Chain A
Amino acid sequence: MTEYRNNARLFEGIDWLTILIYVALTIIGFLSILSTKYVEDDPNPFAFSHEYMKQIMWIGISWIMGFVILLMRSSIWHKYAFHAYGFALILILMTFFIGKQINGARAWIVVGPLRIQPMEIMKIAIGLTIAKVMSAYNFSIERPKDIMHIGCLIALPVLLAILQNDTGSGLVLFSLLFMLYREGLNNWICIPLIFMAVLFLSSFMLTQTTLLLSLVAVLYISMAMMNKIWKIAIRAFAATLLTSIIIFCLGLFINLSYYYSLLITCILSILVIVYYAFRTNMKNLYILAAIFTMSIVMIHTSNDLLDRMFTHQKERIVSFLGLKSDPRADYNVIQSKIAIGSGGLFGKGYMQGTQTRYGFVPERHTDFIFCSIGEEFGLCGATVVLLLLFGLIYKMLKMADKQRDTFGRVYCCSVASILLFHTMINVGMTIGLVPVMGIPLPFVSYGGSSMMTMTILVFIAFNMDASTRLSISSDRDKMIF
């Protein structure tokens, strides 16, 4: 069995419009990098030490790679999905031993001139793997065991990313929640998950006791919403509070703080919930209990963990929320907003941007590339780029809907989620809507690793889409003849 498609119908079924959007984005990216990095009196403007020359190379490699992927037989994605996941996981684990620390994250493997970020490979692998798991015959999105299965597949790399101090990349995988929601994940699981993510991010602002109390509240509210058992949930919440107070009073003799009495109560209540779930056969309560347990463990370690690992992230978030002005964390955002804000309607003109060209905006060719576009082409240019990205994501969702099997649908949807998350965080942070995280703008930001990952991601989707259309048209042919 050959892995390539039939030569006769090499380019049939390919959605050229979407590919055009992709090409346009890469070219815009290159021009923006050129604008931020080109120096007039450079004696050797074509030297490969310049970022824009390297980007040309990456774009070339990516296009070729995309072309090759288009030629592949779409069945191989399903076939090697688990292999890819395993491979990516091994690479991530390897970073703990031979990884190199870049920008505070120990997330890179350096082989000669090549720098590989295994998390990027994981982005591709996880889409394929989850698609494969979900396309299994006996999979049901409503069965807690299956949800747990997916949860573990996502949580494992996220956890590793956090340990690598690369929270940004880890959070990207969380974006798959969007896909899961679209695939029919129970509403009331999405809500506690989002709640908990927010709580976790803001945990350093609250005392541990308050945090635990709000977690308990979230637990019971979700329980009530999921199973419409409001009365029981309220009673259980009251009972938990009461128990904790009683334990606290008893514990006064041994100097037990309220936090620990609440913690003990929580452990007791988890046991009660598990028992209750067993009795009433409410399977989703198991998931809730699991999430809750995990969160408690997280809280317990979060302060410690945050202090050790996320000082970077913590400062940014605190600064973003305006709780404490930190000039270092603020600087990027202020400069970025100045750059974009000074662009006006039509911008200052290509290569005329003072803020990005003179280097006031840090990381202006990577994470803050959107500033360059906003400054030099103004609102019009920024809107065009946003529309292109929107078009790509929209097309990707449409491709998902057109897919005949679950595998393709889930994969395309995952790609759309990842693209959406990247765009949301990246553009959001440059205009001050989202805290600063090291997440590049797809196809536009400088960087070979991100460029190739994103290209592979979307071209696999294009490839699937092409073969779907091909099969649709061949079915039509069969119907005619």
Chain B
Amino acid sequence: MISHYEEQTRKRISFIILILIFGTFIAKLVTLQILDESYEASAKDNYLRYVIKYPPRGEVYDRNGIALVQNKECYDLMVISKDIPKNGFDTTTLCQITNLSYKKLKTRLSSARYTPRSGYLISKYLTLEQKLLLDEINIPGFYTVSRTVRNYPLNIGGNLLGSIGEVTPEMLARNPEYTIGDYVGTEGIEAAYEKVLCGEKGLALHNIYTKGNEHDSIIKAPIHGQAITCTIDAKLQLLAERLMHDKVGAVVAIEPATGEILVMASSPTFDPNELVGAQRGNNYMKELKNPRNPLFNRAVKGRYPPGSTFKLANGLIGLEESVLLPQNRYPCHQGYTLGKIHVGCHSHPSPLDLSYAIATSCNAYFCYVFRNILENRKFGSVKKGFEAWREYVESFGFGKKLNSDFLGESSGFLPSKAYYDKKYRNAWNALTLLSLSIGQGELGCTPLQMANFAATIANRGYYYIPHIIRPDSQNTLNIDKRFSTKKYTMVRKENYDIIAQGMWRGVNVDGTCRLAALKGWDVCGKTGTAQNPRGKDHSTFISFAPLHNPKIAVAVYVEHGGFGADMAVPIATLLEEQYLTDTITRWDLYENIVNKQINYKVYDRVQK
């Protein structure tokens, strides 16, 4: 046995050990709970999350207040993994309601297990009916969150309006205010006016333990995107798309007095509603694989030879340079022949003056005009003459971006001196470039540029940059000044009058586009039949009406449509009739055009 003294010591020591242990604990508790404040913040970080609140995007209305783009409520099905009943639930009903396959549901539920306490997305874009059905069966752990998606009530203007997609890495790099997963406008108006439409993101403090969003405390409320009024006339747009049905090409109509785009139809088009919601991915791939390429906005990106419509430009330049006088007559015997060079033409009285040359679209006449411009002694050489010519053409808006509000606008193609120097190794003259006189050769214009050219002639010498945005009633929108500045061309007004007269004659007296005549409205127009190496000629027509105080300028381009008068003229005239008189009287013509099919070997061969 140990001694009594030893025993007492040990008792004392064990008591001290006891005190030490509990003392350490309390000391540690004091440091944890009182002295160290960081744990409080960590605790908040644990269960409070900053959540971005997405605002609904702004609506888009047409010039008459008809809604083109609206927002639609849709629902996302979310799940909190740890609240799912342990003994299973009725997966069959859930799959039926959400149209998910059992396998997909299983994989999503298993991925949800990685974040057991926070919501995980199970199914997107549920309709109200689906939501109500889900509320009815009410499986613990599942809840729905509402948000808005785009809705297109008229189903028109796929390329014009554009669509919404997830932000790309390049865009993220340029715009730090976006974060990964944000949705932005990818094309058309949605992209052009992204800044206006997107609204301002809000911020909320989300208690992750509470389901759904109803308990979030809002720090900053999201601001609804601003609605915009665009210059499009919905009725006209709808008509244009109908008329272009089954044809490849584009229609652009501009109000000459303002530069506002009334119609911009690229054909084939797509149903914008298909690129919204659960099927967006599949439909997008479908459109992407379509050989006719509906996602390509031909109205601003297509590069077409302008054909005979370009004769107007040469006529204007000739008049301005005084190498052409309206009364000048040139002969045409089935075309223009010089040595080995021959430019064919159709049968018509010869010789002929300028206005008749425009009306009947004589090739030979404009070959003379073109040569006279380039070979003008004033310039000293053909090449200098060409450069002067090019400067004129550029002032009409060809060969460069018009700087409209469409982001993906193409500049078209206007060859330069250097281009020809390289191509012909410096050995070229006016005859080499003769096809430019009738709008063939290397020239490439977008339908927008052609419509703008029509508007320039309608305005007799100037244009406003075509644009899609229109000041709304409150005038809150800051519209870029460039859209309200006149852009003058290098040709004087009186020369335009002469050309416009010729266009009027072509429609109303004796010309290639008599079909375009509307009683009481002095329609002016110029057809074009653009040869191309890939198949049948392109059918094109530029027009404005009426002759004085024009209200509308139209450019129609139908790929492989044959003569200008075959396809483009009827489409343009129906549009003009609708716009000017608000009705269509020639329903047989309408039916005829809508039902007309064109055999596109070029596109449809790819499909096989």
Judge whether B43 and A338 touch: CB under 8 Å. yes
> B1 touches which one: A140, A355, A397 (CB < 8 A)?
A140
The 8 A CB mask of B23-65 against A (1 = contact, 0 = none) is 0111011101110101110110011000000000000000000
B285 close to chain A: CB less than 8 A: no
> B29 touches which one: A178, A359, A382, A394 (CB < 8 A)?
A382
The segment out of A79-87, A277-285, A420-428 that lies at the interface is A420-428
The segment out of A113-121, A339-347, A470-478 that lies at the interface is A339-347
Q: Give the shortest distance, in Å, between A5 (CB) and chain B (any CB).
A: 30
Judge whether A378 and B2 touch: CB under 8 Å. no
The 8 A CB mask of A421-461 against B (1 = contact, 0 = none) is 00110011001110000000000000000000000000000
Judge whether A358 and B34 touch: CB under 8 Å. no
Judge whether B18 and A358 touch: CB under 8 Å. no
Judge whether B33 and A182 touch: CB under 8 Å. no
Judge whether A431 and B10 touch: CB under 8 Å. no
> In the docked arrangement, what's the CA distance between A342 and B22, Å?
21
Q: Give the shortest distance, in Å, between B418 (CB) and chain A (any CB).
A: 64
The 8 A CB mask of A324-345 against B (1 = contact, 0 = none) is 0000000000010111111111
Judge whether B25 and A428 touch: CB under 8 Å. yes
Judge whether A337 and B39 touch: CB under 8 Å. yes
Please give me the residue from chain A that is nearest to B116 by CB atom: A359
B residues within 8 A CB of A393?
Answer: 18
**Which of A338, A359, A387 has the largest count of B CB atoms less than 10 A from its CB?**
A338
> B21 touches which one: A345, A387, A420 (CB < 8 A)?
A420
Judge whether A342 and B30 touch: CB under 8 Å. no
The 8 A CB mask of B8-20 against A (1 = contact, 0 = none) is 0011011101100
Judge whether A341 and B39 touch: CB under 8 Å. yes
A374 close to chain B: CB less than 8 A: yes
* Residues B351-391 near A (CB distance < 8 A): none
Interface residues of chain B: helix, strand, loop or mixed (majority): helix
Whether A354 contacts B18 in the complex (CB less than 8 A), given A182-B10, A344-B34, comes out as: no
Q: Give the shortest distance, in Å, between B233 (CB) and chain A (any CB).
A: 55
> In the docked arrangement, what's the CA distance between A424 and B24, Å?
10
Q: Give the shortest distance, in Å, between A447 (CB) and chain B (any CB).
A: 20
Judge whether A338 and B33 touch: CB under 8 Å. no
> In the docked arrangement, what's the CA distance between A393 and B14, Å?
11
B6 close to chain A: CB less than 8 A: yes
Judge whether B39 and A383 touch: CB under 8 Å. no
Q: Give the shortest distance, in Å, between A233 (CB) and chain B (any CB).
A: 24
Whether A184 contacts B6 in the complex (CB less than 8 A), given A338-B42, A342-B43, A358-B209, comes out as: yes
A residues within 8 A CB of B245?
Answer: none
> In the docked arrangement, what's the CA distance between A181 and B16, Å?
13
B residues within 8 A CB of A182?
Answer: 10-11, 14
> In the docked arrangement, what's the CA distance between A184 and B21, Å?
21
Q: Give the shortest distance, in Å, between B229 (CB) and chain A (any CB).
A: 48
> A355 touches which one: B17, B46, B208 (CB < 8 A)?
B46
B residues within 8 A CB of A339?
Answer: 43
B182 close to chain A: CB less than 8 A: no
Please give me the residue from chain A that is nearest to B6 by CB atom: A184
Judge whether B33 and A374 touch: CB under 8 Å. yes
B residues within 8 A CB of A360?
Answer: 46-47
A236 close to chain B: CB less than 8 A: no
Whether A401 contacts B33 in the complex (CB less than 8 A), given A339-B43, A342-B39, A420-B21, comes out as: no
Judge whether A181 and B42 touch: CB under 8 Å. no
Judge whether A358 and B47 touch: CB under 8 Å. yes
Judge whether B42 and A431 touch: CB under 8 Å. no
B7 close to chain A: CB less than 8 A: yes
B201 close to chain A: CB less than 8 A: no
B117 close to chain A: CB less than 8 A: yes
B401 close to chain A: CB less than 8 A: no
Interface residues of chain A: helix, strand, loop or mixed (majority): helix
A residues within 8 A CB of B10?
Answer: 181-182, 184
B82 close to chain A: CB less than 8 A: yes
Please give me the residue from chain B that is nearest to A427 by CB atom: B25
> In the docked arrangement, what's the CA distance between A160 and B34, Å?
43
> In the docked arrangement, what's the CA distance between A431 and B33, Å?
10
Judge whether A341 and B42 touch: CB under 8 Å. yes
> B25 touches which one: A142, A341, A344, A386 (CB < 8 A)?
A386
> A341 touches which one: B14, B32, B47 (CB < 8 A)?
B32
A residues within 8 A CB of B38?
Answer: 341
Q: Give the shortest distance, in Å, between A150 (CB) and chain B (any CB).
A: 16
Please give me the residue from chain B that is nearest to A387 by CB atom: B22
The 8 A CB mask of B201-243 against A (1 = contact, 0 = none) is 0000000110000000000000000000000000000000000
> In the docked arrangement, what's the CA distance between A379 and B30, Å?
7
A residues within 8 A CB of B209?
Answer: 354, 357-358
Judge whether B22 and A390 touch: CB under 8 Å. yes
A residues within 8 A CB of B21?
Answer: 420, 423-424
**Which of A341, A378, A386, A389 has the largest count of B CB atoms less than 10 A from its CB?**
A341
B residues within 8 A CB of A383?
Answer: 26, 29
A residues within 8 A CB of B30?
Answer: 379
> In the docked arrangement, what's the CA distance between A219 and B39, Å?
45
B residues within 8 A CB of A432?
Answer: 28
> In the docked arrangement, what's the CA distance between A295 and B527, Å?
105
A residues within 8 A CB of B15?
Answer: 394, 397
> In the docked arrangement, what's the CA distance between A75 and B308, Å?
123
> In the docked arrangement, what's the CA distance between A445 and B255, Å?
81
Please give me the residue from chain B that is nearest to A378 by CB atom: B33
Q: Give the shortest distance, in Å, between A325 (CB) and chain B (any CB).
A: 17
**Which of A342, A386, A394, A420 has the largest count of B CB atoms less than 10 A from its CB?**
A342
B residues within 8 A CB of A178?
Answer: 14, 17
A141 close to chain B: CB less than 8 A: yes
Please give me the residue from chain A that is nearest to B3 by CB atom: A184
Please give me the residue from chain B that is nearest to A341 by CB atom: B39
> A342 touches which one: B26, B29, B40 (CB < 8 A)?
B40
Judge whether A354 and B1 touch: CB under 8 Å. no
Whether A342 contacts B42 in the complex (CB less than 8 A), given A184-B1, A383-B26, A431-B28, comes out as: yes
> In the docked arrangement, what's the CA distance between A433 and B18, Å?
16
> In the docked arrangement, what's the CA distance between A424 and B13, Å?
17
B residues within 8 A CB of A428?
Answer: 25
> In the docked arrangement, what's the CA distance between A192 and B366, Å?
114
Q: Give the shortest distance, in Å, between B143 (CB) and chain A (any CB).
A: 13
Judge whether A340 and B33 touch: CB under 8 Å. yes
Judge whether A181 and B40 touch: CB under 8 Å. no
> In the docked arrangement, what's the CA distance between A340 and B35, Å?
12
Judge whether A433 and B24 touch: CB under 8 Å. yes
A residues within 8 A CB of B14?
Answer: 178, 181-182, 397
B residues within 8 A CB of A423?
Answer: 21
* Residues B555-599 near A (CB distance < 8 A): none
> In the docked arrangement, what's the CA distance between A390 and B28, Å?
16
Q: Give the shortest distance, in Å, between A393 (CB) and chain B (any CB).
A: 6
> In the docked arrangement, what's the CA distance between A87 and B32, Å?
44
B residues within 8 A CB of A181?
Answer: 10, 13-14
B residues within 8 A CB of A141?
Answer: 1-2
B residues within 8 A CB of A401?
Answer: 11
Please give me the residue from chain A that is nearest to B40 by CB atom: A342
Please give me the residue from chain A that is nearest to B15 by CB atom: A397
Judge whether A184 and B46 touch: CB under 8 Å. no
The 8 A CB mask of A147-161 against B (1 = contact, 0 = none) is 000000000000000
Please give me the residue from chain B that is nearest to A394 by CB atom: B18
Known: A338-B43, A344-B40. 19 other contacts (CB 8 A): A184-B10, A335-B46, A340-B32, A340-B33, A341-B33, A341-B36, A341-B39, A344-B34, A354-B209, A358-B46, A358-B208, A358-B209, A382-B33, A390-B22, A394-B15, A397-B18, A428-B25, A431-B32, A432-B28
Q: Which 10 A-B pairs have the closest CB atoms?
A: A341-B39, A342-B43, A184-B2, A341-B32, A358-B209, A338-B42, A379-B33, A342-B40, A342-B39, A390-B22
6 A-B pairs with C-beta separation under 8 A: A142-B2, A181-B13, A341-B40, A344-B33, A374-B29, A378-B33
Which A residues lie at the B interface, using CB under 8 A?
Answer: 140-142, 178, 181-182, 184, 335, 337-345, 354-355, 357-360, 374, 378-379, 382-383, 386-387, 389-390, 393-394, 397, 401, 420, 423-424, 427-428, 431-433
